[in-house]
Structure 1
Amino acid sequence: MDENYRILNYYPSVPGNVVTGILYAIESLVFLYYITRRKDKWALCLPLGAIASSIGFFVRVGLDSDNISLPLYIVQSIFIVASPSAFLAFNYMLYGRFITAIDPRFGSNTSQSKMEKSRYSFIPPRIVGRVFIWSDITTFLVQVAAGGMLGSGGNNMSLINIGDTLFLVGVCAQGVCYFLFTSLLSVTLMRLVTERQKAGLNRSGRSCMGLDKNTLIMASGLYFSSLCISIRSIYRIIEFAQGHNGSLVSDEVFLFVLDALPLVLAIGVWAIVWPMVTLDKIAAQVRDGAQMYSMESGHSQLRLPSIDSSIRK
């Protein structure tokens, strides 16, 4: 390896970066198609994050292995490491819409308070997205600052080490926040399964653990996406903990296998099954059941708001 080649410890693979960039670009186009067709503007963070990641990998192709360009390095570093924050934000916002779909009583309160609770969530669903997205923005800014330090550090190992430390702080904080979110999701699903099993819904041949097909698809998608994001977070934490000359940062194959691939899969699940289509089916089924219960028990019918109108308040 050329001693002057200080920023990257390897020569970027042109085929590997081009293929990864294309995969992200294809996913972004699929997401834009869904959003345009269904007018799900709240989900724009997903294709924007995919486009940014795609640009990051395409930019890597232009890195000169003998005379690396600092501006290009900074762009690819920030786009690849920090832009996936958009994928986390999408899952955070999706959680509130999931609660609205499975809980016919959530959103029926005319006051539409941000602190309105759901029996499935120990945190008010409307503030879940806000809290976690703000944490996401904070960790994103930390990672952007770290990327700038790494890119402009040159031969200043002190500045490079500070950049590595900031990246480590950012990805650790991001990983912890997503772990807490996954725990929240787990509690929600445990409460939902327990309730439906007590109601005898698990006796139906069309259900699994009391969950109907669409709810199971939605829950599985969120868990699969979260697992992939967690793999990537653990990789980044170990990478930055090892420092600039660590084994993970010194071989590009780890970037493709433990960063790019998990994230492509994490958002790819939503390219196969657009969540709002599934949530609409869940909401229709759950609310039909609620209306039937109201008629049979003589209770007054619940006001059943749409998923988007309920969670936007």
Structure 2
Amino acid sequence: MASAFFSLVARDDQQEIICTLKTCPIDASYYNYLPSRAANGVFDGLFALSLGLYISQAIISRSFIGFSIAMICGCILEVLGYVGRLMSNSNPFNENGFLMQIVCLTIAPAFLAAGIYLCLSRIVHIFGAENSRLKPRSYPRIFIPCDVISLVLQAIGGGTASSESHQHKSTKTGDHIMLAGLAFQVFTLALFIVLCTDFAIRTLGRMRRLGSAEALDPTHARLRGSWKFRGFLVALALSTLCIFIRSIYRVAELAEGWEGALIKNQNLFIGFEGAIISLAVLVLNVFHPGYCFSEGYAVKMGKKNRGQVVDESVTGSQAEFKA
């Protein structure tokens, strides 16, 4: 994929100007198809809506700030990526729109995954750290750096392939580094899912042995029983699965190459990139942790405290939950 991509980028300016929808066949473009204005417009609108909601929810809830920042960054990149695809609808031979979408849409899910990683430490704390193989704070400390490693590998691979292409050399080295970055992202998500599943199994097993009252911290009983919190758990699991499936698709796409069947199929891109990532962000708008953790977790004090929210359920870990 990357070798052919950077060969296209290296085309001279004269060919860039000559190639239009009227003068060149569509399979000579960067995409091998004309990006759909309708589909990309819908996705751009959905991500813009999600972005606005995450900003509003961060301001209103004033909690889970790390989660909100990660989701906002991811949505901004998604919006920019689909703006690039809309630009390419007018001219799929133009380099700017293509570069804009391929960079932004490749990187964006890593930020969304980071937001998910930050939530798990809170969930472990609510159900009981004794049921987890790792300490609550270990999850973001392990998985967020893994996200960074994945992004760095993809950036190095892209830069290497671009440099090699402009020097008319083979871009295999850059291609392989980029593929390694995406594959590492899939591995990280898979490990995260395994640990989440293990935590759920250990928690349920302990509940069966000891009963809910003994197995779980009674301080958070009301929160665990709320429909909002349970909806959040389902939404988080669905969002994680969506990002994982999308990442597998992109690895398969890159491994097959730019001339492969996957990269030339716009319907697959719409389904496994646009639709599935839209779902991933929107479900967490509906079940935003700043809203779903409120019931049984914090209470509003009287006028004396000017309506400040005081945490009654956590001792010594206020900062963790407010972050």
Identical counterparts, % of pairs: 22
Partner of 2:133, secondary structure, is: coil
Q: Residues 143 and 62 (structure 1 numbering): CA distance in 2 closer, same or farther, change over 3 Å?
A: same
* Distance of 2:31 and 2:313 partners within structure 1: 58
> TM (normalized to structure 2)?
0.75
Q: Residues 271 and 3 (structure 1 numbering): CA distance in 2 closer, same or farther, change over 3 Å?
A: closer
Query: What's the offset of the Cα at 1:213?
Result: 4.6
Query: What's the offset of the Cα at 1:29?
Result: 0.7
Native 8 Å contact 2:154 2:177 kept in 1: yes
The corresponding residue for 2:315 is 305
Query: What's the offset of the Cα at 1:80?
Result: 0.5
- Cα RMSD (Å): 3.0
Output the amino acid matched with 1:256: I
* Distance of 2:52 and 2:254 partners within structure 1: 32
Query: What's the offset of the Cα at 1:20?
Result: 0.8
1:132 to 135, 143, 156: 143
1:260 to 271, 274, 283: 274
The corresponding residue for 1:178 is 189
Aligned length: 274
Native 8 Å contact 1:59 1:76 kept in 2: yes
The corresponding residue for 1:293 is none
- Structure 1 gap segments, 5+ residues each: 104-117, 203-210, 286-301
* Distance of 1:68 and 1:150 partners within structure 2: 20
* Distance of 1:303 and 1:219 partners within structure 2: 19
Q: Residues 123 and 39 (structure 1 numbering): CA distance in 2 closer, same or farther, change over 3 Å?
A: same
Query: What's the offset of the Cα at 1:91?
Result: 0.6
* Distance of 1:136 and 1:269 partners within structure 2: 22
1:212 to 225, 239, 243: 225
Cα deviation, 1:72-107, whole Å, max 9, x if unaligned, reads 32221110011110110001011111122233xxxx
The corresponding residue for 1:90 is 115
Q: Residues 64 and 276 (structure 1 numbering): CA distance in 2 closer, same or farther, change over 3 Å?
A: closer
Q: Residues 307 and 262 (structure 1 numbering): CA distance in 2 closer, same or farther, change over 3 Å?
A: farther
2:76 equivalent to 1:37: no
Equivalent residues in 2 for 1:134-173, closer than 5 Å: 134-148=145-159, 153=165, 158-159=170-171, 161-173=172-184
The corresponding residue for 2:75 is 50
> TM (normalized to structure 1)?
0.77
Query: What's the offset of the Cα at 1:310?
Result: 3.7
Cα deviation, 1:163-217, whole Å, max 9, x if unaligned, reads 4433321111001001101111111112222233334449xxxxxxxx7354533
2:209 equivalent to 1:198: yes
Partner of 1:281, secondary structure, is: coil
- Structure 2 gap segments, 5+ residues each: 1-23, 214-223, 300-311
Partner of 1:256, secondary structure, is: helix
Q: Residues 59 and 197 (structure 1 numbering): CA distance in 2 closer, same or farther, change over 3 Å?
A: same
The corresponding residue for 1:111 is none
Q: Residues 75 and 47 (structure 1 numbering): CA distance in 2 closer, same or farther, change over 3 Å?
A: same
* Distance of 2:57 and 2:317 partners within structure 1: 17
The corresponding residue for 2:4 is none
1:244 to 258, 275, 285: 258
- Name whichever of 37-46 and 130-139 sits farther off: 37-46
* Distance of 1:216 and 1:303 partners within structure 2: 18
Cα deviation, 1:223-267, whole Å, max 9, x if unaligned, reads 211211121011111111111111110122111101111111112
